Amino acid sequence: MFGVIIMARRSNPFAQQGRPEHEEYMKARKIILSDFPSLKENFPYAAGTREEIIEHYKNKGEEIDERYISQVLRSYSIKDEYLESVIEKTHRFDVHGNHAGEIGAEAKAKAQKELKKRKKKRERRMLEKESQAEQDRETE
Protein backbone atom coordinates (compact mmCIF):
# COMPACT_ATOMS: atom_id res chain seq x y z
CA MET A 1 0.00 0.00 0.00
CA PHE A 2 2.80 2.41 0.86
CA GLY A 3 4.39 1.86 -2.57
CA VAL A 4 1.14 2.81 -4.26
CA ILE A 5 1.09 6.15 -2.42
CA ILE A 6 4.64 6.89 -3.52
CA MET A 7 3.84 5.95 -7.12
CA ALA A 8 0.77 8.18 -7.15
CA ARG A 9 2.78 11.07 -5.82
CA ARG A 10 5.42 10.59 -8.53
CA SER A 11 2.84 10.45 -11.28
CA ASN A 12 1.48 13.91 -10.48
CA PRO A 13 3.42 16.11 -8.10
CA PHE A 14 0.61 18.68 -8.22
CA ALA A 15 -2.16 16.25 -7.23
CA GLN A 16 -2.87 17.37 -3.69
CA GLN A 17 -5.94 19.55 -3.75
CA GLY A 18 -5.83 22.68 -1.68
CA ARG A 19 -2.13 23.25 -2.26
CA PRO A 20 -1.19 26.35 -4.28
CA GLU A 21 0.71 24.19 -6.79
CA HIS A 22 -2.43 22.16 -7.46
CA GLU A 23 -4.52 25.23 -8.17
CA GLU A 24 -1.84 26.69 -10.45
CA TYR A 25 -1.46 23.37 -12.27
CA MET A 26 -5.22 23.06 -12.80
CA LYS A 27 -5.39 26.59 -14.23
CA ALA A 28 -2.46 25.87 -16.55
CA ARG A 29 -4.01 22.55 -17.58
CA LYS A 30 -7.27 24.27 -18.48
CA ILE A 31 -5.44 26.88 -20.57
CA ILE A 32 -3.27 24.32 -22.36
CA LEU A 33 -6.16 22.01 -23.20
CA SER A 34 -8.24 25.00 -24.32
CA ASP A 35 -5.47 26.16 -26.66
CA PHE A 36 -4.66 22.62 -27.83
CA PRO A 37 -7.84 20.52 -27.60
CA SER A 38 -6.34 17.87 -29.87
CA LEU A 39 -3.99 16.84 -27.03
CA LYS A 40 -6.90 15.07 -25.34
CA GLU A 41 -7.66 12.83 -28.28
CA ASN A 42 -4.82 12.75 -30.79
CA PHE A 43 -2.03 10.66 -29.50
CA PRO A 44 0.63 9.41 -29.58
CA TYR A 45 2.40 12.74 -29.53
CA ALA A 46 5.20 13.71 -31.88
CA ALA A 47 8.69 14.28 -30.56
CA GLY A 48 9.04 17.93 -29.60
CA THR A 49 5.42 18.44 -28.55
CA ARG A 50 6.42 19.88 -25.19
CA GLU A 51 8.86 22.30 -26.80
CA GLU A 52 6.25 23.33 -29.36
CA ILE A 53 3.81 24.22 -26.58
CA ILE A 54 6.48 26.12 -24.64
CA GLU A 55 7.38 28.08 -27.79
CA HIS A 56 3.70 28.85 -28.42
CA TYR A 57 3.33 30.53 -25.03
CA LYS A 58 6.64 32.36 -25.30
CA ASN A 59 5.54 33.80 -28.66
CA LYS A 60 2.24 34.92 -27.11
CA GLY A 61 4.10 36.52 -24.21
CA GLU A 62 2.36 34.21 -21.75
CA GLU A 63 4.20 32.31 -19.10
CA ILE A 64 3.17 28.80 -18.12
CA ASP A 65 5.45 26.79 -15.89
CA GLU A 66 7.19 24.18 -18.05
CA ARG A 67 6.62 21.59 -15.32
CA TYR A 68 2.87 22.00 -15.80
CA ILE A 69 3.18 21.51 -19.55
CA SER A 70 5.18 18.34 -18.97
CA GLN A 71 2.64 17.08 -16.46
CA VAL A 72 -0.32 17.71 -18.76
CA LEU A 73 1.36 15.66 -21.49
CA ARG A 74 2.35 12.99 -19.01
CA SER A 75 -1.20 12.75 -17.66
CA TYR A 76 -2.20 11.35 -21.05
CA SER A 77 0.95 9.49 -22.05
CA ILE A 78 0.98 7.31 -18.91
CA LYS A 79 -2.42 5.82 -19.72
CA ASP A 80 -2.88 2.37 -21.21
CA GLU A 81 -4.97 4.04 -23.91
CA TYR A 82 -1.90 6.01 -25.01
CA LEU A 83 0.23 2.86 -25.26
CA GLU A 84 -2.54 1.12 -27.19
CA SER A 85 -2.58 4.02 -29.65
CA VAL A 86 1.18 3.64 -30.17
CA ILE A 87 0.59 0.00 -31.10
CA GLU A 88 -2.49 0.54 -33.26
CA LYS A 89 -1.79 3.79 -35.09
CA THR A 90 0.71 4.44 -37.84
CA HIS A 91 1.53 8.11 -37.17
CA ARG A 92 2.25 10.45 -34.30
CA PHE A 93 0.43 13.78 -34.00
CA ASP A 94 1.50 17.37 -33.46
CA VAL A 95 -0.26 19.80 -31.12
CA HIS A 96 -2.84 20.61 -33.79
CA GLY A 97 -3.78 17.00 -34.50
CA ASN A 98 -1.84 16.74 -37.78
CA HIS A 99 0.27 13.73 -38.71
CA ALA A 100 3.82 14.31 -37.59
CA GLY A 101 5.84 11.25 -38.49
CA GLU A 102 5.47 7.51 -38.47
CA ILE A 103 5.62 5.34 -35.39
CA GLY A 104 8.58 2.98 -35.58
CA ALA A 105 8.57 -0.73 -34.85
CA GLU A 106 10.78 -0.16 -31.81
CA ALA A 107 8.24 2.21 -30.23
CA LYS A 108 5.43 -0.25 -30.91
CA ALA A 109 7.40 -3.10 -29.33
CA LYS A 110 8.23 -0.98 -26.28
CA ALA A 111 4.55 -0.06 -25.84
CA GLN A 112 3.51 -3.72 -26.17
CA LYS A 113 6.07 -4.75 -23.55
CA GLU A 114 4.89 -2.05 -21.12
CA LEU A 115 1.23 -3.03 -21.53
CA LYS A 116 2.06 -6.68 -20.81
CA LYS A 117 4.04 -5.63 -17.74
CA ARG A 118 1.11 -3.56 -16.45
CA LYS A 119 -1.35 -6.39 -17.08
CA LYS A 120 0.80 -8.82 -15.10
CA LYS A 121 1.12 -6.32 -12.27
CA ARG A 122 -2.66 -5.81 -12.14
CA GLU A 123 -3.22 -9.59 -12.15
CA ARG A 124 -0.67 -10.04 -9.34
CA ARG A 125 -2.35 -7.33 -7.25
CA MET A 126 -5.76 -8.92 -7.80
CA LEU A 127 -4.45 -12.31 -6.66
CA GLU A 128 -2.84 -10.71 -3.61
CA LYS A 129 -6.12 -8.99 -2.71
CA GLU A 130 -8.07 -12.24 -3.13
CA SER A 131 -5.53 -14.09 -0.99
CA GLN A 132 -5.69 -11.41 1.71
CA ALA A 133 -9.50 -11.46 1.67
CA GLU A 134 -9.44 -15.25 2.06
CA GLN A 135 -7.04 -15.00 4.99
CA ASP A 136 -9.22 -12.35 6.61
CA ARG A 137 -12.29 -14.61 6.31
CA GLU A 138 -10.38 -17.52 7.87
CA THR A 139 -9.35 -15.44 10.89
CA GLU A 140 -12.88 -14.20 11.58
List the chain domain ranges.
Answer: 18-139
Helix (H) or strand (E) holding 99: strand 99-102
Which architecture does CATH list for 18-139? Answer: Orthogonal Bundle (1.10)
Instruction: Identify the pLDDT of residue 7.
Output: 37
pLDDT in the model for residue 57: 95
Helix or strand or coil: residue 36? coil
d(CA 85, CA 72): 18
Give the max Cα distance, the chain.
Answer: 65
Cβ pair 107, 82 in contact under 8 A: no
The predicted model scores a pTM of: 0.74
The amino acid occupying position 18 is G
How confident is the model at residue 138, as a pLDDT? 82
pLDDT of residue 123: 93
Q: What is the pLDDT of residue 15?
A: 63
Element (H or E) spanning 138, and its range? helix 105-139
**Residue 12: predicted pLDDT:** 61
CA atoms of 49 and 111, how far apart (whole Å): 19
Please, what are the averages of pLDDT over each run of 10 residues along the chain (140 residues)? Answer: 36 64 89 91 89 95 92 91 94 92 95 95 91 83
